[in-house]
C-alpha cells in the first residue's frame, strides 16, 4: 500500500518535474541544443537538426532583420556573413554554423541607435522601396566593401548579382554602394 | 515546405565519414557546401534519416601543388578556386568558370567537387576540368580508386560513384609550357544562371607552332558534359588557323545533342556550340602563343 505521504510526494514530484519531462521528450525527437555566436553575442536554442540558420535566427532568436525569400539560394534576401563571408542562411543548417562568427543586419551598425555607412547611403539615395531585399543587399555590399573599398560600377553589380530586387531597378542601389564606398574612403583618410 | 527532420552526424575524418556512410547506406547523404543538397531536402526530392556533414573535418579544403599536379581537396570552395594564384596561372579556364558559377554567396558556400558530383549536364566547372585532364580520386571502404573525369559522368545527375563512396580530391596535371586554354558561356540571367551552353578548349603547341595537344569540352548540350574527341583529333599536328578551327567547331556542333528547355532551344544551343568552340579555340591559341 502507498501511504498518504508517499502519494503526496508522487504528486509533488510530478508537478515539479513535468515541465522537465516534456522537454526531454522533445529531445528524444532529435531536437538538439545549438550555440550560435551572432553579432558577438552567444545564443542557445533547442532546435530540430534540420532547421536552417535563417529559420533559427528569425523564429528562435527573434532576429527578424534577415529575410526569407526563395529558400533556394536564388534571391539573396537571407544573406548574412559567416566568418566574414556572405552566404545564404537559407542553405546553411543552424547546426553547421556553430563555432563561427555570424553577422546579421542587426549587427553591422556600431550601436543599435545609429546606422552603418552603407545603411545610411541606402536611405539617403532612395535605394529602398518596399525594403524586403535591403538587408540582404546591405550584407552583400558589406562583403564587397570589406574586401574592396574602391569597387567599379561593374564590380558592384557583380557583387550584388546574387541579390534580387523587385522594386528599385537597381540603379539607386548601385549608387548607394558607390556613395558608401566614397564615405568609407573619406573616413579612412580623415583618420 | 519545411525540411523533414534528420540526425546530423559530424565525422572528424574522411575515414569516419566513409564508415558512417557505409553503416547508414541509402538512408544517409553527404553534406559538403549544401547549396544543392539543401534545395533537394527542401523539395523533399530526397528524405534521408542521416546527414553526414563534412564541415568539421580539418584540412580537406586544400588547393596545393604536388609532383607536377594540382590537388584540390573535397571541401575547397568555389570562391577559393577563383582566387587561387596557381589556378589563375596554370588553369585560367577553371578560374574563369568558377568565377561565373552562380552568385557570390553560392561560391562562398559551394565546393568545386560537389558541383561536379551533382553531375548536372550544365555544371559550369566540368568542361574546364575535362580539358585539363582532371582525375577523380574516390575513397571507399575496400580500396581507393582513381578515374579520369571523362569516364566519371554516366547521365544527368549520375556518376560512377557507388553507394558509400566519397570523392577525396581532384588531381590535375600542370599543362606544358606552350599551352593556352579558354572557357566560354552563354546564359540568360547573365553570370548568375546555370549555363545555357558552355565550351572549354585547350591547345598545346610545339616549338614549330604545330598543335601537339587539343581538347574541346561541351556543357549543357548532351546528357553529360562531353569531350569532342573527333574534333580534337583533326587538330593534332596542324598549324593552327581559322580554317581548321572552323572545321573543329563544325564537328563540335554535330557531336552535340542538346534538348530544348526553359533556358534555350535545341537549335540555338547547337548554333552556340559552333560559335563558342571557335571563340574558345582562338582564345586558347592566343594565350598559348603568349607563353
Ligand atoms: S531565401 Fe535564401 S537566397 Fe532566397
Ligand atoms: S526594395 Fe522592394 S525588393 Fe528591393
- CB atoms B2 and A50 under 8 Å: yes
Is A54 in CB contact (< 8 Å) with chain B? no
Contact A116, A138 (CB under 8 A): yes
ipTM of the complex: 0.91
Say what the pLDDT of residue A191 is. Answer: 62
Question: Positive or negative, the Cα torsion across A55, B193, A136, A93?
Answer: positive
Distance CA A179, CA B179 (A): 43
What's the mean pLDDT when you consider all of chain A? 89
Distances in Å between the Cα of B168 and the Cα atoms of A12, B54, B67, B76, B147 are 57, 11, 17, 11, 12
Is A58 in CB contact (< 8 Å) with chain B? no
Pick A96's closest partner by Cβ from B7, B35, B53.
B53
Say what the pLDDT of residue A23 is. Answer: 43
List CB contacts (< 8 A) between B2 and chain A: 50, 55
The 10s digit of each residue's pLDDT in B12-54 is 999 999 999 999 999 999 999 999 999 999 999 999 999 999 9
Distances in Å between the Cα of B198 and the Cα atoms of A89, B114, B121, B129 are 29, 19, 10, 13
Distance CA A52, CA B143 (A): 36
List CB contacts (< 8 A) between B8 and chain A: 32, 49, 93, 95
- CB atoms A93 and B35 under 8 Å: no
Distance from CA of B237 to the nearest CA of A (A): 41
Tell me the fold of B179-289: Enolase-like; domain 1 (3.30.390)
Neighbours of A126 (CB within 10 A): 13
Which of B75, B73, B134, B156 is CA-nearest to residue B110?
B75
Which of A115, A108, A130, A118 is CA-nearest to residue A178?
A118
Distance CA A107, CA A115 (A): 10
Say what the pLDDT of residue A188 is. Answer: 79
**Ligand 1 neighbourhood includes A88 CB (under 6 angstroms):** yes
Which of B273, B270, B155 is CA-nearest to residue B223?
B155
For chain B, positions 96-115, list CB contacts with chain A under 8 A: 102-106, 108-109
Q: How far is the CA of A78 from the centre of ligand 1 (A)?
A: 5
Ligand lying nearest the CA atom of residue A166:
2
The 10s digit of each residue's pLDDT in B176-198 is 999 999 999 987 655 445 557 89
Q: Which three cell numbers stand for residue B167?
A: 570523392
The 10s digit of each residue's pLDDT in B129-141 is 999 999 999 999 8
CB within 8 Å of B140: residues ≥ 6 apart = B18, B162, B164, B165, B166
CATH 3.30.465.10 fits B63-173, yes or no: yes
- CB atoms B42 and A32 under 8 Å: no
Is B2 in CB contact (< 8 Å) with chain A? yes
For chain A, positions 126-185, list CB contacts with chain B under 8 A: 140, 143, 158-159, 161-162
Q: What is the 3-state secondary structure (H, E, C) of B196-232?
A: CEEEEEEEEECCCCCEEEEEEEEECCCCCCEECHHHH
Contact B236, B214 (CB under 8 A): yes
Q: Going residue by residue through chain A (191 aa), what tens digit of pLDDT does each one get? A: 455 555 555 555 545 454 444 444 333 447 999 999 999 999 999 999 999 999 999 999 999 999 999 999 999 999 999 999 999 999 999 999 999 999 999 999 987 779 999 999 999 999 999 999 999 999 999 999 999 999 999 999 999 999 999 999 999 999 999 999 999 999 877 76
**Ligand 2 neighbourhood includes A165 CB (under 6 angstroms):** yes
Q: How far is the CA of A79 from the centre of ligand 1 (A)?
A: 7
Distance CA B83, CA A32 (A): 37
- CB atoms A90 and B38 under 8 Å: yes
Q: How far is the CA of A81 from the centre of ligand 1 (A)?
A: 14
List CB contacts (< 8 A) between A72 and chain B: 39, 42
Say what the pLDDT of residue B105 is. Answer: 97
Give me the CATH code for the B7-53 domain, please.
3.30.43.10
Q: What DSSP string describes A85-136?
A: EEEETTSSBGGGGTTSEEE-GGGSSSSSSS--HHHHHHHHTT--SS-SSHHH
Q: Which three cell numbers stand for residue B188?
A: 540568360
Nearest CA to ligand 1 atom 3: A73
Q: Which three cell numbers stand for residue B38?
A: 539543401
Strand pairing report for B197-205 and B166-173 = unpaired
CATH architecture of A117-186: Orthogonal Bundle (1.10)
Domain with CATH 3.30.43.10 in chain B: 7-53
- Residue numbers in chain B where pLDDT is lower than 50: 191-192
The 10s digit of each residue's pLDDT in A25-72 is 333 447 999 999 999 999 999 999 999 999 999 999 999 999 999 999
Instruction: Tell me which CATH homologous superfamily contains domain A4-107.
Output: Beta-grasp domain (3.10.20.30)
State which of A52, A65, A74, A105 you would mutate to test the pocket of ligand 1, scoring each by most atoms of that ligand within 8 A of its C-beta.
Answer: A74
Ligand lying nearest the CA atom of residue B34:
1
- B176 phi-psi bin (left φ>0, alpha ψ -120 to 50, beta other): beta
Domain with CATH 3.30.465.10 in chain B: 63-173
Pick A91's closest partner by Cβ from B104, B109, B190.
B109
Amino acid at each position: 500500500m502507498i501511504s498518504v505521504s508517499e502519494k503526496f510526494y508522487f504528486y509533488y514530484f510530478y508537478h515539479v518535474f513535468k515541465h522537465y519531462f516534456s522537454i526531454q521528450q522533445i529531445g528524444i525527437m532529435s531536437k538538439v541544443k545549438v550555440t550560435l555566436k551572432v553579432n558577438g553575442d552567444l545564443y542557445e536554442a533547442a532546435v530540430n537538426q534540420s532547421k536552417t540558420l535563417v529559420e533559427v535566427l528569425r523564429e528562435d532568436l527573434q532576429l527578424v532583420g534577415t529575410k526569407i525569400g526563395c529558400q533556394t539560394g536564388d534571391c539573396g534576401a537571407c544573406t548574412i556573413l559567416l566568418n566574414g563571408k556572405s552566404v545564404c542562411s537559407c542553405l546553411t543548417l543552424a547546426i553547421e554554423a556553430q563555432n563561427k562568427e555570424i553577422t546579421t543586419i542587426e549587427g553591422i551598425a556600431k550601436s543599435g541607435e545609429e546606422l552603418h555607412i552603407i545603411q545610411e547611403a541606402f536611405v539617403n539615395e532612395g535605394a529602398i522601396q518596399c525594403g524586403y531585399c535591403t538587408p540582404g543587399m546591405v550584407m552583400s555590399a558589406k562583403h564587397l566593401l570589406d574586401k574592396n573599398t574602391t569597387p567599379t560600377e561593374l564590380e558592384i553589380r557583380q557583387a550584388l548579382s546574387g541579390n534580387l530586387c523587385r522594386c528599385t531597378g537597381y540603379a539607386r542601389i548601385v549608387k548607394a554602394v558607390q556613395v558608401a564606398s566614397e564615405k568609407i574612403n573619406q573616413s579612412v583618410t580623415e583618420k | 515546405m519545411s525540411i523533414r527532420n534528420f540526425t546530423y552526424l559530424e565525422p572528424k575524418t574522411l575515414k569516419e565519414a566513409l564508415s558512417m556512410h557505409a553503416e547508414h547506406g541509402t538512408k544517409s547523404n553527404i553534406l559538403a557546401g549544401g547549396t544543392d543538397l539543401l534545395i533537394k531536402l527542401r523539395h523533399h526530392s530526397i528524405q534521408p534519416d542521416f546527414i553526414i556533414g563534412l564541415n568539421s573535418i580539418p584540412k580537406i579544403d586544400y588547393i596545393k601543388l604536388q609532383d607536377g599536379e594540382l590537388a584540390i581537396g573535397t571541401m575547397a570552395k568555389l570562391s577559393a578556386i577563383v582566387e587561387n594564384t596557381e589556378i589563375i596561372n596554370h588553369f585560367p579556364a577553371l578560374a574563369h568558370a568558377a568565377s561565373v558559377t552562380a552568385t557570390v554567396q553560392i561560391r562562398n558556400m559551394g565546393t568545386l567537387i560537389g558541383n561536379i558530383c551533382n553531375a548536372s549536364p550544365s555544371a559550369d566547372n566540368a568542361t574546364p576540368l575535362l580539358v585539363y585532364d582532371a582525375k577523380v580520386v574516390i575513397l571507399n571502404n575496400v580500396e581507393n580508386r582513381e578515374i579520369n573525369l571523362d569516364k566519371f559522368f554516366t547521365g544527368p545527375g549520375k556518376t560512377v560513384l557507388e553507394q558509400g563512396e566519397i570523392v577525396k580530391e581532384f588531381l590535375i596535371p600542370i599543362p606544358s609550357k606552350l599551352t593556352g586554354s579558354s572557357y566560354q558561356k552563354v546564359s540568360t540571367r547573365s553570370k548568375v544562371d546555370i549555363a545555357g551552353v558552355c565550351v572549354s578548349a585547350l591547345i598545346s603547341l610545339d616549338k614549330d607552332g604545330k598543335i601537339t595537344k587539343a581538347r574541346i569540352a561541351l556543357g549543357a548540350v548532351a546528357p553529360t558534359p562531353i569531350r569532342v574527341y573527333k574534333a580534337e583529333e583533326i587538330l593534332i599536328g596542324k598549324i593552327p588557323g581559322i580554317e581548321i578551327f572552323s572545321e573543329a567547331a563544325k564537328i563540335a556542333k554535330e557531336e552535340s545533342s542538346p534538348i530544348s528547355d526553359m533556358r534555350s532551344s535545341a537549335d540555338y544551343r547547337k548554333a552556340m556550340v559552333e560559335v563558342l568552340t571557335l571563340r574558345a579555340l582562338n582564345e586558347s591559341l592566343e594565350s598559348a602563343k603568349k607563353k
